[in-house]
């Protein structure tokens, strides 16, 4: 897990790359290196996870000196690929980095189909004078870019590109859409900043002399249609368990200490059960957060589950007193709006893990999307946010001319099945993309690596393709998953009830943090883009909120995000 950066074209300022790499050094504190020729400058920040030797540092040059690679992520099946490639490539390290450059040398862009991992990488071809870049299937690892006056700049973080001289100007259409519809970009390549784009997951790009070509390389819609829907329940369960075990095994490949995150739900229970079954003798450490609020905390269920295993548990407390300062710090790393106090609490887990010497953490992201676990799947509506009966947005506080810049997202529906189409939307357009972005920045801000075994593409495809009654049966969601974990944990274990909220964000913003939030909201009146807002209506909405209209706090968090990111 690392940070990458590059400048291609124009008169390259050598000092600019130093500034770019310095601002994203948190992504890779173990080594910073550069490579350049007359056409391009490549840089890399390394967090050493596999093959800790200096020989595995990047930028990495192929044996024939043709390809130069900068790579962020992990290729989990690198050992299997290395066996395939040994007759074609003379390996000098034990790194997945060298396997990736060997795979590209041998298979070209078709190597992408062979990779099981999370990745964003760029390869410079010294013969063709062309740049190739790609992201993994679900976009776990980021890749941002800008093209201005024939100069192509890319990096792992938005702020890195801004330090290269690209002005920080808000993308008003994306901000308006965020306020009106809660979207974090209408299209997968959108960001909140003018001129900064992201390469979508499942896509690759080639850049030659300032001309960009972007193509999709992974077609999930086609892949899931290849699976039979005629397998019986027990066969599907058995096959899924085998895939799950293999996914966890692959993601335990590391030359540093590995831990995992748990909550009280069925997803974390599954992870806990399988990690304990496969690695229990190693005393793998578990981490969880809590807020000292019994209504929201899942600590009771976490401790109940942990009692059935030998896993040591580290409990990480988040309090109201630290929220505003933590939010300001986290906004710097996130570059765009993030998911509120739960993200702050999650961030403290990685901070604690790093201090404990745990550099790799696994979590349970991805189960709800593949097994139809959100409440709105059961209700069969078009919601994208759980647990609210009315809109969590307040578009009435926006001036009319700014409101008109909002674009309502329209998501593809490739399956002609309402639940499948919602699952597809959440995997590629809403839930997973935003969670992966939040989580990448959280882990990287603490120089740690996050791995999501449930997002192994084989698992997602296989579960997604199953009949609906394997997912939702008699009103019970994630039905097969609950059946699976029940075989590995005690029958006396109960799970925390499925809840849309994990922290007392609504209460804290209205009570403990009321004065600080009031000051921040009042500062909108003097902010650089105050003309976006009808300040009287905004103030009225805040008064209604602190007086009890607190079903959702999302709109309050949106206003805090605006101040912390733009001003």
- Contacting residues for 377 by C-beta, under 8 A, at least 6 apart: 419, 422, 423, 471, 472, 477
Q: What average pLDDT score do residues 20-37 get?
A: 96
Q: What is the pLDDT of residues 229-254, one digit of tens each?
A: 889 999 999 999 999 999 999 999 99
pLDDT value of residue 490: 67
Mean pLDDT of 16-23: 96
pLDDT recorded at residue 24: 97
* Degrees to nearest 5, angle at CA 423 with 417 and 425: 100
At residue 485 the predicted structure's pLDDT band, cuts being 50, 70 and 90, is confident
Q: Residue 387 pLDDT > 60, yes or no?
A: no
- C-alpha 513, offset from chain centre: 28
- Amino acid 491: pLDDT: 61
pLDDT at residue 380 in the model? 62
Portion of the chain with pLDDT greater than 70, in percent? 96
Average pLDDT over residues 323-344: 95
At residue 385 the predicted structure's pLDDT band, cuts being 50, 70 and 90, is: low
3-state secondary structure of 100: helix
pLDDT tens across 404-424, in order? 999 999 999 999 899 999 999
Q: Which domains does the chain have, with CATH numbers?
A: 2-218 (3.60.20.10), 222-368+441-497 (3.40.50.620), 506-566 (no CATH)
**pLDDT, tens digit (0-9, with 9 covering 90-100), for 103-132:** 999 999 999 999 999 999 999 999 999 999
DSSP bridge pairs for 287: 261, 314
Which of 189, 200, 204 is closest to 104 using CA atoms?
204
pLDDT for position 489: 74
Cβ atoms of residues 310 and 319 within 8 Å: no
Taking residues 13-25, what's their average pLDDT? Answer: 93
Q: What is the pLDDT of residues 193-223, one digit of tens each?
A: 999 999 999 999 999 998 999 999 999 999 9
Torsion sign (Cα): 100, 105, 108, 111? negative
From CA 567, how far away is CA 565, in angstroms rounded? 6
pTM: 0.95
The percent of residues in the chain predicted with pLDDT above 90, rounded, is 83
Among the listed ranges 8-22, 143-157, 549-563, which one has the minimum average pLDDT value?
8-22
**Dihedral pair phi/psi, residue 206, rounded to 5°:** -120, 140
What three-state secondary structure class fits 398? strand
pLDDT above 90: residue 525: yes
pLDDT score for 185: 87
Per-residue model confidence (pLDDT) at position 78: 98
């Amino acid at each position: 897990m690392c940070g990458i950066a590059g400048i291609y074209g124009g008169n390259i300022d050598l000092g600019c790359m130093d500034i770019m790499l310095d601002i994203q050094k948190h992504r890779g504190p173990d080594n910073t290196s550069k490579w350049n020729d007359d056409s391009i400058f490549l840089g890399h920040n390394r967090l050493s996870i596999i093959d800790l030797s200096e020989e595995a540092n990047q930028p990495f040059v192929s044996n024939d000196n043709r390809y130069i690679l900068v790579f962020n992520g992990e290729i989990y099946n690198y050992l299997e690929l290395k066996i395939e490639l040994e007759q074609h490539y003379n390996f000098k390290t034990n790194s997945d980095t060298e396997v990736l450059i060997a795979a590209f040398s041998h298979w070209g862009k078709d190597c992408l189909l062979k990779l099981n991992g999370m990745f964003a990488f760029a390869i410079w071809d010294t013969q063709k004078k062309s740049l190739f870049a790609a992201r993994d299937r679900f976009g776990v690892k980021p890749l941002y870019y800008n093209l201005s006056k024939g100069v192509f700049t890319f990096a792992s973080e938005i702020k890195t590109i801004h330090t290269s001289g690209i002005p920080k100007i808000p993308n008003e259409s994306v901000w308006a859409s965020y306020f009106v519809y809660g979207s974090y970009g209408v299209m997968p390549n959108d960001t909140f900043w003018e001129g900064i784009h992201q390469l979508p997951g499942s896509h690759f790009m080639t850049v030659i002399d300032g001309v960009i070509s972007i193509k999709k390389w992974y077609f999930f819609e086609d892949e899931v249609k290849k699976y039979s829907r005629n397998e019986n329940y027990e066969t599907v369960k058995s096959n899924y368990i085998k895939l799950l075990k293999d996914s966890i095994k692959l993601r335990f490949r590391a030359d540093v200490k590995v831990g995992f995150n748990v909550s009280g739900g069925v997803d974390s229970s599954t992870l806990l059960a399988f990690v304990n079954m496969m690695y229990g003798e190693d005393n793998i450490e578990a981490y969880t957060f809590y807020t000292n609020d019994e209504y929201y905390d899942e600590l009771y269920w976490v401790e109940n589950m942990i009692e059935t295993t030998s896993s040591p548990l580290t409990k990480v407390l988040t309090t109201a007193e630290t929220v505003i300062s933590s939010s300001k710090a986290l906004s710097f790393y996130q570059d765009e709006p993030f998911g509120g106090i739960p993200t702050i609490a999650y961030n403290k887990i990685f901070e604690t893990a790093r201090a404990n010497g745990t550099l790799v953490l696994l979590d349970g992201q991805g189960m709800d999307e593949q097994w139809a676990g959100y409440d709105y799947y059961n209700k069969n509506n078009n919601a994208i946010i759980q647990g609210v009966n009315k809109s969590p947005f307040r578009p009435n506080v926006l001036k009319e001319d700014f409101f008109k810049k909002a674009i309502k997202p329209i998501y593809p529906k490739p399956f002609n099945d309402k639940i499948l189409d919602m699952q597809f939307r959440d995997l590629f357009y809403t839930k997973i993309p935003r969670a992966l972005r939040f989580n990448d920045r959280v882990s990287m801000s603490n120089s740690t690596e996050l791995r999501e075994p449930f997002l192994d593409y084989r698992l997602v495809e296989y579960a997604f393709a199953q009949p609906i009654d394997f997912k939702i049966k008699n009103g019970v969601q994630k039905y097969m998953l609950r059946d699976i974990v029940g075989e590995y944990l005690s029958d006396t274990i109960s799970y925390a009830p499925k809840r849309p909220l994990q922290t007392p964000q609504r209460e804290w913003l209205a009570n403990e943090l009321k004065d600080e939030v009031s000051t921040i909201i009042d500062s909108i009146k003097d902010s650089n883009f105050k003309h976006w807002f009808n300040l009287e209506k905004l103030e009225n909405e805040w008064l209604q909120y602190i007086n009890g209209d607190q079903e959702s706090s999302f709109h309050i968090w949106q206003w805090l995000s605006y101040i912390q990111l733009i001003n």
